[in-house]
Structure 1
Amino acid sequence: MSETELLALLRELDDPERLEQPRHYDPAATRLAFGGLVRRLEADFGAPCDFERDTQDSSEYGRVHVPAEATIRGTRIVICVSKFGSLAEVCADNPGAYLGTDEACAEGVLDPADLATVERALAELGYVSVPEELLETDYEGPSDLGFFAARPTWWTRFFGFM
């Protein structure tokens, strides 16, 4: 999806009355899809992946950690999954460690082949990957997020604590 299409999707998913999860949130379906993502990444990388799920008081559902020793460049890959619209974010090492996967690849810490493996798994499992660079832009939606962050971003809205 283009940046314009992704921003339109973020605006469409944004409901100021539902900050932590969407109106028709299905925890069982989300858990099942997330489990499928974990299994897929473990198969693709040939290693067990640690994960966190059911994040409390957050619009983020959970995270999958592809271990550093399973990647080409020896850098852990973290995939964050939102409770909204199957949104996902891919990060080298941790969210915020690099300003997105482009920077991590340019600095040589993330291999493009590993990134492609993760992005392919996300797409084939119905997730929408949103670049960290876009998520870190200023939030321009209808929800009042000033209580949660001094400078709200799209990441705050769809992956942050509420």
Structure 2
Amino acid sequence: MTADEQHLWILLRELDRSGNAEFPEGYDHAATRARFDQLVAEIDAQFSCTSKVERDAPEASYHGWIIIPVDATASADFITIIVSNFGDLAVVTLGNPMSYDKEETDYLLDAADHSRITNMLSRLGYITVPEHLSWADYDGVMNLRSHATSWLDRFFFWT
């Protein structure tokens, strides 16, 4: 495990203890929405497209999804970005989450596409969690095991 991955695990575990299942203590929906909308605008400008966006996720641990159409990318499939309500976390997936294993993603997700997305996320203060890292079994402190079987479920799917 790399030092960056160790740091992410520490962060994920801290965030797991930071509030309820849907959002952490001190969560500011208006600020989170404004930054998410800025991300959508930047993605659409960078990729010369109109992304498919889900903004309404009541009672969920994620704030929203952005799907960049395949014809706007150099990648082999559309690209999905999911923004969590927790700790400025974001995950980037090729296709739907868990559609491709790590090796397939490394091969099929164009490096320039990935770099543009992660640079935008970083510039806006998001922390990108590698999808393969989030696949680990959820073993956190919240009593979510019947709903969240992985850390991806915990921070990017749970409703």
Common fold: TM-score over 0.5:
yes
Q: Which residue does the alignment assign to 1:130?
A: 129
CA distance in 2, matches of 1:66, 1:5: 29
Q: Aligned runs of 1:94-109 on 2, under 5 Å?
A: 94-100=96-102, 102-106=103-107, 109=108
Residue of structure 2 equivalent to 1:60: 62
Matched, 1:70 2:88: no
The 5 A counterparts of 1:10-159 are 10-15=12-17, 18-100=20-102, 102-106=103-107, 109-149=108-148, 152-159=149-156
CA gap 1:37/1:122 in 2 versus in 1, 3 angstroms: same
Superposed structure 1 runs of 4+ greater than 4 Å apart? none
Q: CA deviation at 1:57?
A: 2.3
In structure 2, list runs of 5 or more residues that go unmatched: none
RMSD between aligned residues: 1.6
TM-score scaled by length of structure 2: 0.92
Q: 1:160 and 2:157 equivalent?
A: yes
Change (3 A) 1:2 1:16: closer
Q: Percent identity?
A: 40
Shift of 1:23: 1.1
Q: Any conservation in 2 of the 1:99–1:132 contact (CA below 8 Å)?
A: no
Give the number of equivalent residue pairs.
157
